[in-house]
Amino acid sequence: MKFLSILILSITMTFAGEITVPTSFSTHFTQKITTPKKKVIRYSGTLLLNSTGALKWRYIQPTKKEVCSNGRQFTIVDHDLEQVSFHELRQALNLTSILKKARHHKDNLYVATYQKVLYTFSLNKKGRIDQIAYKDTLDNMVNIHFQKMRYSSKANPKRAMQCPYPKAYDIIRG
């Protein structure tokens, strides 16, 4: 029965026109950024996302940093620099919106254009997001690979989506 369910889900995802966006997900990630000069920077950590657009990146390697956003504002907590930055986004960044725009390209690949950036998504055998690739505004090639992806029908708790920081950290408002 489990095999049949997975088979039906795989067939549905293969022929679907869009990616199914869960209410929330949590995952481990590795991020590889390749600069135009071919320098490679690697990061790893965890990501929480709610379909409302709220997200929290928790970078563990090579630096400890947290980035929280509700799609309109974001907070960056840099533990190595002991500083917190608060920023308003000029253009809303909403990963959920990007996922909803994604259309089937071929095999397990989906593409979406958002704010003039082309995003490519690959799905795993369960129909869950496995990777995201795109070229950022600085011409860096960005590839984010997800491991241990967990979808949920319930939102991640509000407290889990926040970026707490020690009061002694420097504050930067941008």
Residue where the block lists tokens 């920077």: 41
Helices (H), 55-161: 95-101
Structure confidence at residue 92 (pLDDT) = 53
Amino acid in the structure at residue 2: K
Tell me the mean pLDDT in the region 55-79: 92
pTM exceeding 0.85: no
Q: Which residue has the tokens 């608060």?
A: 86
The token pair at 97 is 């919106």
CATH hierarchy code of domain 2-173: 2.50.20.10
Across 134-147, average pLDDT: 93
Q: What are residue 94's phi and psi, to 5 degrees?
A: -135, 100
Bridge partners, residue 63, by sequence: none
Question: What integer pLDDT is reported at residue 16 of this predicted model?
Answer: 46
pLDDT given for residue 91 in this prediction: 59
Computed over every residue of the chain, the mean pLDDT equals: 85
Q: How confident is the model at residue 13, as a pLDDT? A: 38
